[in-house]
Amino acid sequence: MGVNTDFFRDEVRNGFYIPAAIKQAWAATLEVLGEIDKICTKHNITYFADWGTLLGAVRHGGFVPWDDDLDIGMKRDDYERFRAVADAELPENYVIHDYERKDDHWEFLIRVVNNSKICFDEKYLREHNNFPWLAGVDIFIKDYLYSSADEEEERDKEVMKLYAVAQLVIEEKYNRAALIGELNEINRRYGSSFSIDEPHYALAVSLYRLAEQQMARVPKEKSNRIGQIFPWIIKRGSDAGEDKILYEKFIRLPFENTTIPVPVSFNKVLKKRYGNYYEIKKVWTGHDYPFFEGQKKEMEKLLGASIPGFNFEKEMLNSIDKDYSGSIRSISTECVRMIKKLLVDAGCAAENENYENAAQKLTEAQQLAIDLGTLLEQKKGEKNIHVKNVVHELEKLCDALWRDANNLLDPNGKKIESTLEALTDVEDAIEENVIQIKEILYLPIGAEEWNGFREIYDLESQRNDVDIFVVPLPLLKKDYFGNIIMSPEDIDKAAQGDLYEKNLNLADWREYDISTHCPDVVYIQSPYDETNPCLTVPPFFHTKAIRKYAGEIIYIPFKKTEEFADEDKNDIYNMKHYVAAPGVVYADRVLVQSENIREKYITCLENFSGSEAREYWEQKVSIKALQNSAETRKRGEKRKIIFGIGANELSEHPDIFVRAVEQRINTFAENSDHIDMAIYLYPNEKEKWMESDGKLSDEIFSLIKKAGVKIVSACSKDSEILSQKYDAYYGSPTPLVPAFFTQKKPVMIADFEV
């Protein structure tokens, strides 16, 4: 299950910043899911998204942005069939963690893991997006429950008893006589033959296996409910179970770059588990975030050293010597100086009646003027008004030089007439159009990311005393050692130049020589340079490299995040990746969205460098109020509403849903003079809907086609774009809902029973 380079771009989803390091973890986990999916498809084994993964598939179209693990579920018989073939079918380096094979994995679930050990092998890293850490998918098992609450409670006590005895054996915290009594009671009840003299590990495994047998003992046909017995049914009773019919039929929903099966009545499942599951909660205690951080710390502990990364050095706080010697300003000034000298030399030669030498000097001056004009047109563009102004005066100078050179060679001439006056005009033009003109350079890392510069660009582009260049930088895939591993064709596409607005003064990154332009201000938005774990920009555009030639470097985050607090641990953790990074550290100024985020940046940088540098960061980081990019509706303009329709409704409201959708479409049509409605289907493809109910799907799609309503579609990244273009959301629960919440726009989840 491969992922393209763009997958690893930093992203802000529902106001949460997701750095490339987390995207690596996602990609590794999705790869494991892909292998599980292959096996299940081949052997007709049913699995489905569970827990946070189910929530992510429905609410976000992928991972919950502030989560990084992947959970799936299987019913007991599917799980047993999977276990029977998994060892032979999984890739050679994969392992299964369960209580029988993995030390200290005393859980009633299995984890499919991508390797038996952390791997820094060059070939492995290249094949796995430079991610050396262990990544896995947890598989939770659902068993059928007794119809009688008393019988279920009795079974759960048995399971808990077996578990408790196993824990005594594992921890070796028991009285020998008491444990013998417990084992004898178990042997009498289940006809087993456990002995305290067995090796402790083998005894504990046998007790776990017996506990699982008790979980699986209720047949499907004698039950109406299903549930994960350990720990949830045991903790909460049979009420924590669910109707088994919810797990009889499944539909595949988008999940990042793939799809994943979910119960067709996913809304019912999520509402029972989480209540209002669209209420955003970023702090939870399910597991450590990110999952690989613990592995990294353990590795560093074993090595006795830190894994190489971007580390603070005092020199980072020092200013550097600038090199403007090769700049257009310097070249222009030097050209004028040399032309002046040639004119003086020509005058001296003419006074000495060495007219051929004098004419030669004027010809050389003419060539210098031509070369300067050519350079300005090549570097700043023929259509640049400031270049046109200078070139116009240079052409007049060339004409004067040509006339004077001819006069010197004319037997009746022998004099220099108009050159000095023309040169004065050139000097004035260069002063006004080159020396005094401020050059501003924008270095966006993608067409979508360009919007982060939009507000300040719109302001600066109205000025007449600036030359603005936009140089789209390609994000380049690299191996663990920093070598670019993309074809020339893919590199060409990576800059996304054809996706930018046509009215921008775009320059090719391969042709823009920053040592010649020496821009007064450079706006950057890539924090990483060489420190991104799998992407980079061309090295000569690294912040440390361009600071030598730039008057000032200003870092602006490519996108606004939601405000977050110190207790939002996942937000705080991710800052170490994109704040304690070269772009931010080496920039002269950092502009952020609010005082709160400014303080978060300063604290992160202080943790990176030490408290003695805090004052330095306080001076560097300041507030730039970024406006919401959503469009403002003009007076009298129609209100734009998205009507979301989810395939879950086919199973949750089969008798009334088609009629309910028709009624709502008609209502929107009746109010079309002030409402512009578009339909969003989740999932987008009709084929996916057919998995739920073919007949009802046909009716829904025919109804929408007959109504002639506009249909919009969106992947997880596009959700925010739609939420910016539309004013409100109405309908089924879909990934557009949190996007509209993030934009602070109205959301109404439809009750199709009304």
Reported as a single tens digit per residue, the pLDDT across 346-401 is: 989 988 889 899 899 999 999 999 999 999 999 999 999 999 999 999 999 999 99
Q: Do 473 and 603 fall into the same domain?
A: yes
Q: Do 191 and 339 fall into the same domain?
A: no
Query: Does some domain include residue 105?
Result: yes
Residue 4: pLDDT band with limits 50, 70, 90: confident
pLDDT at 417: 62
Bridge partners (DSSP) of residue 675 are 639
Asked if 190 and 162 touch (Cβ cutoff 8 Å), the reply is: no
Question: pLDDT per residue over 683-718, tens digit each?
Answer: 999 999 998 899 999 999 999 999 999 999 877 667
Bridge partners (DSSP) of residue 455 are none
Helix (H, G, I), strand (E, B) or coil at 164: helix
Q: Do 169 and 185 fall into the same domain?
A: yes
Give the residue-averaged pLDDT of 29-53.
97
Phi, psi dihedrals of residue 692, rounded to the nearest 5°: -85, -55
Residue 631: pLDDT band with limits 50, 70, 90: very low
Closest C-alpha among 507, 510, 505 to residue 476: 510
pTM exceeds 0.85, yes or no = yes
Q: Do 445 and 583 fall into the same domain?
A: yes
Query: Does some domain include residue 24?
Result: yes
Closest C-alpha among 126, 152, 363, 253 to residue 692: 253
Residue 684 tokens, joined: 């987008």
| CATH number, domain with residue 507 | 3.40.50
Q: Do 291 and 344 fall into the same domain?
A: no
Q: Do 138 and 151 fall into the same domain?
A: no
Could you give the CA distance from residue 270 to residue 266 in angstroms, rounded to a whole number? Answer: 6
The answer for residues whose C-beta is within 8 angstroms of residue 595's C-beta and 6 or more apart is 623
Question: pLDDT per residue over 63-122, tens digit each?
Answer: 999 999 999 999 999 999 999 999 999 999 999 999 998 888 999 999 999 999 999 999
**How many CB atoms are closer than 10 A to CB 633?**
11
Query: Does some domain include residue 249?
Result: yes
Buried-exposed string 732-741: b where 16+ CB fall within 10 A, e elsewhere? bbbbbbbbbb
Domain stops at, among 401, 435, 469: 435
Closest C-alpha among 239, 190, 201, 218 to residue 105: 201
pLDDT surpassing 50 at residue 629 = no
**How many CB atoms are closer than 10 A to CB 725?**
13
Query: Does some domain include residue 153?
Result: yes
Domain stops at, among 369, 402, 435: 435
Kind of pairing, strands 521-524 and 552-555?
parallel
Which residues form the domain of 61?
A: 13-143+225-232+240-303
Query: Does some domain include residue 310?
Result: no
Could you give the CA distance from residue 543 to residue 557 in angstroms, rounded to a whole number? Answer: 14
**How many CB atoms are closer than 10 A to CB 616?**
15
Q: Which amino acid is at 218?
A: V
Asked if 191 and 250 touch (Cβ cutoff 8 Å), the reply is: no
Outline where 137-258 has alpha helix (H). Answer: 149-171, 176-190, 200-215, 234-236
| CATH number, domain with residue 82 | 3.30.460
| Angle CA 366–371–374, to nearest 5 | 130
Query: Does some domain include residue 629?
Result: no
Closest C-alpha among 285, 293, 244, 280 to residue 56: 280
Q: Do 730 and 646 fall into the same domain?
A: yes
Closest C-alpha among 720, 490, 508 to residue 628: 720
Percentage of residues in the chain having pLDDT higher than 90? 83
Q: Do 716 and 691 fall into the same domain?
A: yes
Give the residue-averaged pLDDT of 420-441.
94
Q: Is 14 left (phi over 0), alpha (psi -120 to 50) or beta?
A: left
Residue 284: pLDDT band with limits 50, 70, 90: low
Closest C-alpha among 582, 506, 515 to residue 550: 515
Concatenating the DSSP letter of every residue in 378-413 gives: HHH-TT-HHHHHHHHHHHHHHHHHHHHHHHHHSTT-
Closest C-alpha among 191, 48, 156, 36 to residue 691: 48
Question: pLDDT per residue over 118-156, tens digit each?
Answer: 999 999 999 999 999 999 999 999 999 999 999 999 999
Query: Does some domain include residue 5?
Result: no
516 CB burial (10 A radius; 0-12, 13-18, 19+) = middle
Structural domain total, the chain: 5
Q: Do 107 and 54 fall into the same domain?
A: yes
Segments of 304-462 assigned E as strands: 438-443
Closest C-alpha among 745, 20, 491, 225 to residue 7: 20
Q: Which residue has the tokens 């719109």?
A: 458
Domain stops at, among 377, 401, 435: 435
Q: Do 567 and 694 fall into the same domain?
A: no
From first CA to last CA, the distance across the chain in angstroms is: 43
Q: Do 468 and 601 fall into the same domain?
A: yes
Q: Do 337 and 482 fall into the same domain?
A: no
Helix (H, G, I), strand (E, B) or coil at 144: strand
Query: Does some domain include residue 314?
Result: no
- Express the helix, strand and coil content of the chain in percent, nearest 5 each: 50, 15, 35
